[in-house]
Structure 1
Amino acid sequence: MTSLVVTVFLLVYLGMIFGGLPFLQLDRTGIALLGAIALVASQSMSVDEAFRSLHAPTLILLFAFMVISAQLRLGGFYPWMARRVGSLHIRPSMLLAAILAVAAYLSAVFSNDVVCLAMAPVIAEICLARRLDPPPFLIGLACATNIGSAATLIGNPQNMLIGQTLNLSFGRYLLVASVPVALSLIVTWGLIVALRRGHGWAPAESSALSAGDARDAEDTPLDLWQTGKGLAVAAVLFAAFLLAPWPRDLMALAGAGLLLTSRRLHSRRMLGLVDWQLLILFMGLFVVNHAMQQTGLPSRVVEALASNGLDLRAPGLLFLSSFVLSNVVSNVPAVMLLLPTTASEHAGTVLALSSTLAGNLLIVGSIANLIVVNEAARKGIRIDWQEHARLGVPVTLATLAITGTYLWLAA
């Protein structure tokens, strides 16, 4: 059975690298699910063992915040916030700073992917209406959501997984992460402004669409009551995470349940905005990774590397491994691979920050990047991998250098 488990594991992670498998219409979620099915159907692991491998607290927390984000999307909060920022009569560099700050703040509390999905079309419209070149603002939006999401243990899926698995303190993590995140945002803004110097902020002719052509007719108007409910629940949960001793997943689930008991928003609409694909991806990877751990091969590989001077449990090597793997298989699978070697609170913080900030390097490094590029394409704005890399590479290297130095000094 070990050979079958290893084969399935390798095929699943090859799928994570390439985003699919040859001759099959499968994305990463389908590949992870198919791998889990193969292991259970072949009796390499029992159904009961597969269920036990699912980390329920992480899945519950992830689901709960998807419901809260759905409440705010249906209330029109994200587009309204983006338009408020875009209506500020300030010069382009300051507009960029405002976009980065708002995107990072929202991503620290809500999902960075949802923030990008809701804000990217509006930011594109604002840039076109003000005759500004959209790519720097859109790429900056993606970078800021990734950076901002690193500030808390609820900002993105991999941080939720790390926080719930290692039972990290919400307040202590926030205290440590807030400094490198704030510095990283400032440096990101400075790098984008510096790289635009000499080029100006005017758009290329190919991007010069009219704002009327770009506007999305399906914008949800702001509903103060629904938005207020969502923000109130999020604020109470954030305070409870800092102060209350109760499990974060159960508190978040109670908040999601409260929002689902609505007289105006049907639960079908709310649950329709839940990212079931991401939840299934997590479940599939939980099963595949658990089966691989049970073979004992990963622990033997870690011990063999340690005996040759490459101890993955050392913070520096963990930081580097997380950066590399996050850009090979993406950050969620990378964290699942490295988490078994992570035991201490400091190591968990290292893994959370490095895996999240690594996502800014290339377009495929994070889902947030892909969302922004796809939403830009819908507006007639082309952002290829080279244009993204011109900003993403220096931003990633600078923010990782800042974070690595800070964590080394704080150790």
Structure 2
Amino acid sequence: MSQRSLHLNLFLFACGHHKAAWRAPDSCADQLGNIAYYESVAQMAERGKLDAIFLADGHSADHIEDGPRWFLEPLTALAAIGRATEHIGLIGTLSSTFCTPFHAARMLASLDHISRGRMGWNVVTSMFDAEARNHGYEAMPDHAQRYARAEEFVSVVKALWDSWDTNALLCDRQGPYADPARVHAIKHQGAYFRVDGPLTVPRPPQGRPVLFQAGASPQGRALAARHAEAIYAVAHDLPAAQAYYRDIKQRVKAAGRSEPVPILPGLVTYVASTQAEARAKQQALDALLPVQSSLRQLEGFIFQDCQGWALDAPVPPLPALEDFSGPKGRYATILRIIETEQPTLRQLLGRLAAGGGHCTVVGTPDQIADHIEHWFLNEGADGFNLMPPSLPGSLDDFIEQVIPILQDRGLFRRAYQGHTLRSHLGLG
């Protein structure tokens, strides 16, 4: 194993990341309320020695006819998955717009104790008005306000985790349970929150759960540079990945931080013994996807009504990135796909069907390993957030066929070297 090694997370999402995966005859669509399904997929990922599994989240239930998105609340599910696994990290999404710092710190610290130090937090600000209306807002706060709140939110959560010293808990049956001199109020009063502290949960096993973030806008990149310990990214091709990678690494350094902060772009893979067979797997899923469902997915990415657009004509001009108010990482990727591939609308819908514009590789195990290695060695990624188009089949293909090649090349671990998510990621 080389000194620098790949990091691989599993983005565990419904029946898979292809919008039509749930329509396949052998899909697990009827098992999404059964925790045993998630536990078995997590155990498969752990067999492949992956760093972590990651659960996203959303707070609205529109267009439910198009397929499953959010079924089990992620932190609840991770509590069970943590009991069904031993080593793999557990990353849950929690919104700084819809939660409070004390509540977040308490839940995440509790999960770090339950998993014995394997918890990570994916920090999001949320994005849709339909979500906001489930939490007392008329609409989402503007982008700048969401990120200002997130900045304060994360700082308070970290202070709450630090409110118990490592040696504060004594459990002295002839004396104190905890040393009050080692447990500290934080007395925070800011623009958005008042939090006295200390936290009710003693210091987590990792000190702090690992902070993940996916900043693409200038505010998001600034937040990531100051606080994130690992970063999810969206990159259609290597030049886009390199531009983001180099910018974030420079920002982290400018923030006075020396941590590695691994950057993990999303990766969709179709694996088979020949490229033709892999392409057939992709085409079989694409054939299951209704056009109207695809158009609704695109509308969610670009915040425009696409119903009147001609399917076999070029994609109409879209607003510049700086004029777009939604999630900028995905939108920038769509703009790049249009610029580099000049697809028709129908072709763009197929391109976005699995992963929504994340890097997609269709080929043999060696071809996929080559692609991963090339990005890893050329400032495109420190690893990848795996987005299997269908579950559990696409994940099994990757673990059984691609992981051994990466191990043989000295790029990926053959065994876990530690127990915590921080140890998997090489963090302090």
TM bin (shorter chain): under 0.3
Please identify which structure carries the higher strand content. 2
Higher relative contact order (CA 8 A, sep 6+): 1
Q: TM-score, normalised by structure 2?
A: 0.22
Please identify which structure carries the higher helix content. 1
